[in-house]
Amino acid sequence: MAILWLLMALLMLSFVLLPLLRRGRGAIGQVPPGHPDGADPEAYGFLRQEDLDVRMPGPDQDLLDVLDLVQRTQDYRAAAQLLAGTAAEGEERWQRVQAFGGAAALELRERPGGIHEVPGGQWLRVWRAERPEDAGCAAVYAEFLAQQAWRTSRPGTEDFRIIMEEARAACAEAALLAPGDPVPYIVELSVARGVACPRPEFEKLWLDILDRAPHHMGAHLAALHYWCEKWHGSREQAYAFAEAAAARAPEGSLLAALPLFAVFEHLPEVNLVASFYQSEVVTKAIHGALHAVHTALPEDPMLAHVRHLLVFFLVRAERWAEAMDQLIHVDGHVGALPWTLYDDPAAEFALFRAVAVAGYEANGGSPATLPG
C-alpha cells in the first residue's frame, strides 16, 4: 500500500512539474509565437530589467550626477548650484525640486536615525540651516515634507495633518523668497489634495499658478488629482478640467495629453480586455497624447512622462507598432506613471515591454522593421 501511495504522489507531482519544465524550455523554441516569454527585448537594443533606472522618467544627467554626489558626500552645495542655474518658469525646475525632495524623504525612511545614528537626508537639513534665504532649498524642503506625509502617513490621520500643515507653511515661505516661481504653489497642490482644502481656496491657488506659468504641464497634472473622483471631485470634473486645458493649449504643448492622464486616473479596478482600451473615449485620449508627443519639442522635460503613459495604453489597446515607437524613446528610465505605482517599477515596465515586443513580432515585426 505504501508503494501505491508513493506512485500516486509521484504521478501528481509530474502534473505540477511538467508545465513548469515546458515553460522553462520556452527560450529554446517551446513557447508559441507571439508569447511574451518568447520575446527578446535585448534584440531591439532595450536594456535588461536590472539596468533600468527607476529614479527618473527620462535622462537628466546633470541631476543624476548631482544626486549621486550629494547622497555620497552628504554635501548640499552641488544641489544648490544646480537649482540656482535652473530657470524658475520651466518644467525642469519642478522636476528637480521633486527629485531632491524625494531623495531626502527616501533617505529618511531608510535611515530614520537614533541615538547613535544620523538620520537620512541630513544634507537637506544642513542646507536649510546654513542658507535660510535660498529659495531653491525652501522649495525642496516643502516638497520633502509633502512627500514625507504621503509616504509615511495616511490621509485623515493626525500625523498626516501635522506634516502637511508644516509643508503648507514651507510653501508660503518658499513663495516669499521667489515671488515669480510657480514651484512652491505647485508643491502646495499636493498639500491641497491631501487635506480638506475648500474649493474657493484651491481655485485661488490655481489662479496663482496660472499667473506665473499658464501652460505648466506638471502643475496641471498636480491639479488634476484634486478634481479626480478619489479625492475632491468626480470623473466628469476631472475630464472637463483636462479637456479644457487641452483645448486652450498652444501648439507644441503637452497639455493636449492631459485627457489621457484623466482616463488613467479613472480606470476601472479590473479591466484587462482590449475592447475597453479601444473604446471611443480612450482612443480619443490616445490620439490627443500622440499629437502632443509628435509636436512637442524633443527636449521638453515632460515628454517622457507622456510617452510612458502611452506605452501603457498602446500595449493594452494592442497597438504594437505605436507602442514600440514610444518604447525606443523611453527605454532605460522608468521613474514615471504608471510604473511608479507598483512595488517594482522596473519589473512592471519590463513586462509591458515584453508584451509589446511579442505582439509586434506576432504581427510581422522584427528588429529590422523597428519604428524610427
pLDDT digits (tens, 9 = 90+) for 299-322: 999 999 999 999 999 999 999 999
Q: Are 137 and 131 in contact (CB under 8 A)?
A: yes
Q: Which three cell numbers stand for residue 129?
A: 540651516
55, part of any domain? no
User: Which segments of the chain does DSSP mark as H helices, in order?
Assistant: 2-24, 61-73, 77-84, 91-110, 122-130, 135-152, 158-177, 183-194, 199-212, 217-227, 235-247, 258-265, 274-277, 280-295, 303-316, 320-330, 345-362
At position 329, the amino acid (one-letter code) is: H
Q: How many CB atoms lie within 10 A of CB 332?
A: 14
Give the integer Cα–Cα distance in Å for 347 and 356.
14
Which residue's entry shows cell 500595449? 315
24, part of any domain? no
Give the integer Cα–Cα distance in Å for 173 and 139.
9
pLDDT digits (tens, 9 = 90+) for 127-177: 999 999 999 999 999 999 999 998 888 888 999 999 999 999 999 999 999
Q: Are 52 and 332 in contact (CB under 8 A)?
A: yes
CA-to-CA separations, 365 to 267, 323, 324, 354, in angstroms, rounded: 30, 12, 10, 14
188, part of any domain? yes
Sequence-separated (6 or more) residues with CB below 8 Å from residue 327? 44, 46, 311, 353, 356
45, part of any domain? no
pTM score of the predicted model: 0.85
Question: For the domain that residue 90 is a member of, what is the CATH number?
Answer: 1.25.40
pLDDT (tens, 9 = 90+) of the chain, 372 residues, equals 444 343 344 334 333 333 333 333 233 234 454 455 556 788 899 999 999 998 889 989 999 999 999 999 999 999 999 999 998 878 999 999 999 999 999 899 888 876 667 888 999 999 999 999 999 999 999 999 999 998 888 888 999 999 999 999 999 999 999 999 999 999 999 989 888 788 999 999 999 999 999 999 999 999 999 999 888 889 999 999 999 999 999 999 999 999 999 999 999 866 667 788 999 999 999 999 999 999 999 999 999 999 999 999 999 999 999 999 999 999 999 999 999 999 899 999 999 999 999 999 999 999 988 865
268 Rama sector, left if φ>0, alpha if ψ -120 to 50, beta otherwise? beta
- Give the structural domain span for 97: 61-214
164, part of any domain? yes
Please give the pLDDT value at position 82.
97
At position 332, the amino acid (one-letter code) is: G
At position 97, the amino acid (one-letter code) is: V
Q: Are 107 and 121 in contact (CB under 8 A)?
A: yes
Count of domains for the chain: 1
9, part of any domain? no
Please give the pLDDT value at position 27.
32
Please give the pLDDT value at position 4.
39
Q: Are 103 and 71 in contact (CB under 8 A)?
A: yes
Which residue's entry shows cell 541615538? 115
Please give the pLDDT value at position 35.
57
41, part of any domain? no
Sequence-separated (6 or more) residues with CB below 8 Å from residue 254? 217, 292, 293, 296, 300, 302, 303, 305, 306
Q: Which three cell numbers stand for residue 188?
A: 502646495
340, part of any domain? no
| 3-state secondary structure at position 206 | helix
Q: Are 167 and 145 in contact (CB under 8 A)?
A: yes
CA-to-CA separations, 322 to 202, 210, 230, 371, in angstroms, rounded: 38, 33, 31, 8
- 117 φ/ψ angles, rounded to the nearest 5 degrees: -135, 130
Please give the pLDDT value at position 292.
97
